[in-house]
Structure 1
């Protein structure tokens, strides 16, 4: 099923309505969808490199709006709407464990790491942010920074290196972003240890 979903998402890149689909996929990825917007963003940017910055703006704005939708689901409708979505993806138990083991500051850090590297998946952190009542303005600013950094970094790589970087991105960007996320987490932990 996941492979068919991925193939369908890739097929959207060649359509005239690709920008609309990029916005839709970016929006729903941040709250309920399984496939990241990158799988549509990459082929679109390679097919029309002159529009790469436009695509980054579309993906960032709609991803942040989708994140707000996830926050609203967590804040106002966790039991009735968000929990069934998490159960559908088999993430409800992991979500509950995460919810019980993190502080407010950690959730803000997770929002940045998930926005950059999908660690944990962005939809889980946006819903969790609403459940624990992360301030909506702090949430929005964090989402803009994290999602914007991801899409604009991808845009820069694709514009600078073109097709050869696509394979690198598809295979290793997750590892690089995860490495960056680990550095952020270690810096956060070091700050807390030194502050005590």
Structure 2
């Protein structure tokens, strides 16, 4: 099922309405959807490198708006909507573990790492931010920085290196970003427990 969903999302890049689909996928990814917007963003930016930064803007804006929707789901509709969504994707236990052990500083750090590297998935963090009451403006600023950095960095890579960088991005960028995010989390934990 996941492979069919991935292939369907990838097929949207060839449509005339691709930019609208990119906005839609980026929006729902941040609150309820499983497939990351990168799946659509990469082929779009590769086929139209002159629009890579425009697509980065669309993806960032829609992703931040989707994150705000996730925050509101967590804050105002956790039991009715957010909990069933998390259970559907098998993320409820991960969510509850994060909810029990997370302070405000750690949540902000997870906003950045999930925005950059999907570690943990962005929808989990946006909903969690609403549940524990992260200040909405801090949430929005963090989401703009993290999601913007991801999409604009991809735009720069694709504009600078073109098609040869695609394989690298698809196979290794997630790992590199994940390692960077893990290093940030470890650094945060070290500072927190050593001071």
- Give the aligned CA root-mean-square deviation in angstroms: 0.9
> Within 5 Å, which residues of 2 pair with 1:1-196?
1-194=1-194, 196=195
Aligned length: 195
3-state SS of the aligned residue for 2:6?
A: helix
DSSP 3-state at the match of 2:23: helix
Query: For each residue in 1:142-183, what CA deviation from the matched residue of structure 2 results, as whole angstroms up to 9, or x when unmatched?
Result: 000000000000000011111111011000011110121122
Report deviation, 1:191. 2.8
Distance 2:183 2:108 in 1: 15
CA distance in structure 2 between the partners assigned to 1:182 and 1:95 by the alignment: 18
Q: Distance in 2 between matches of 1:42 and 1:122?
A: 19
- Deviating more after overlay: 62-71 vs 183-192: 183-192
Q: Tell me how far apart the structure 1 counterparts of residues 79 and 104 of structure 2 sit (CA, whole Å).
A: 20
Q: Where does the alignment leave 5 or more consecutive residues of structure 2 unmatched?
A: none
Unaligned runs of 5+ in 1: none
Encode CA deviations 1:37-78: one digit per residue, 9 max, x unaligned.
000000000000000000000000000000000000000000
| C-alpha separation in 1, matches of 2:4 and 2:193 | 46
The 3-state SS of whatever aligns with 1:11 is helix
Give the Cα–Cα distance (whole angstroms) in 1 for the partners of residues 31 and 130 of structure 2. Answer: 11
